[in-house]
């Protein structure tokens, strides 16, 4: 249970950080392009790369601490970082077909699913 609480606490922190950073960037550059979320995704992926490599190189932190930071904070900050890490693992294993399928399926499937959700709500609410 303490692992779940660690992740939940980190997720709350990450989500608030995502909101604050994205709102500040949007305020600074305007809402015509999602610069804030783009920055969040890139920064989150960079941080995930750093933390994942440190974790592999005998990071002196227990499993709950790693879960708090990687799954909680970064997962709450941006789930894109988890997606990028999964893609990197597939690539580093030499599974290029799997990596390409994962990227295409994740991005393409997510966009299609979003439009399907929009369509269904619009179709049944009018």
> In this predicted model, what pLDDT tens digit does every residue of 47-103 receive, in sequence order?
988 888 887 777 788 889 889 999 999 999 987 888 898 899 999 999 999 999 999
This prediction's pTM: 0.76
83 CA to centre of own chain: 6
Measured CA to CA, the distance from residue 95 to residue 111 in angstroms comes to 24
Among 23, 11, 122, 21, CA closest to 69 = 11
pLDDT band at 8 (very low <50, low <70, confident <90, very high): very high
């Amino acid at each position: 249970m303490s692992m779940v609480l660690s992740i939940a606490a980190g997720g709350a922190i990450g989500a608030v950080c995502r909101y604050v950073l994205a709102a500040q960037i949007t305020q600074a550059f305007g809402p015509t392009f999602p610069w804030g979320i783009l920055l969040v995704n890139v920064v989150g992926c960079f941080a995930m790369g750093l933390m994942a490599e440190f974790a592999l190189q005998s990071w002196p932190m227990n499993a709950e601490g790693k879960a708090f930071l990687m799954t909680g904070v970064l997962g709450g900050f941006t789930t894109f970082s988890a997606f990028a890490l999964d893609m990197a693992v597939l690539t580093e294993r030499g599974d290029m077909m799997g990596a390409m399928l994962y990227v295409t399926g994740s991005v393409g499937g997510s966009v299609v699913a979003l439009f399907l959700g929009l369509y269904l709500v619009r179709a049944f609410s009018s």
